[in-house]
Amino acid sequence: MEEKPLIWTTKGNLPISSLQYRHQWTETAAEITLVEEYLLGEEIVKRNVHVMLKRGAVSHIDAGGVI
């Protein structure tokens, strides 16, 4: 019996082959994002998002002068 790879969706495990897959990369100054969507007909049944932060937060610490 041939096994069909399954993937978890809003409708439970479904064969990957039954779904349409699409993805989109976007890049801004702050991040690179990959969105993956699996559709059953017109309905999105799975959406993964991967965000790579390019840069974190910085705080400046300075020594004050003596008057």
Partner 1 sequence: MANTQAMATSFKVDLLNGIHAFGTSVVRAGTTADSFKAALYLVTATMDSTATAYTATNEVSGSGYSAGGVDLTGATDWIAPTSTSTTAFSTPTASIVYTTVTLATAFDAVLIYNSTQSNKAVSVHTFGSQTVTAGTFTLTMPTNDSTNALIRLA
Give me the residues that bind partner 1 (CB under 8 A), please.
Answer: 8-10, 26, 28, 30-31, 33, 35-36, 44-63, 65
Distance CA 8, CA 46 (A): 8
Q: How far is the CB of 4 from partner 1 (least distance, A)?
A: 18
Which of 4/34 has CB closer to partner 1?
34
Q: How far is the CB of 64 from partner 1 (least distance, A)?
A: 8
Residues 40 and 7: beta-carbon distance below 8 Å: no
Residue 45: closest CA among 10, 6, 7, 5: 10
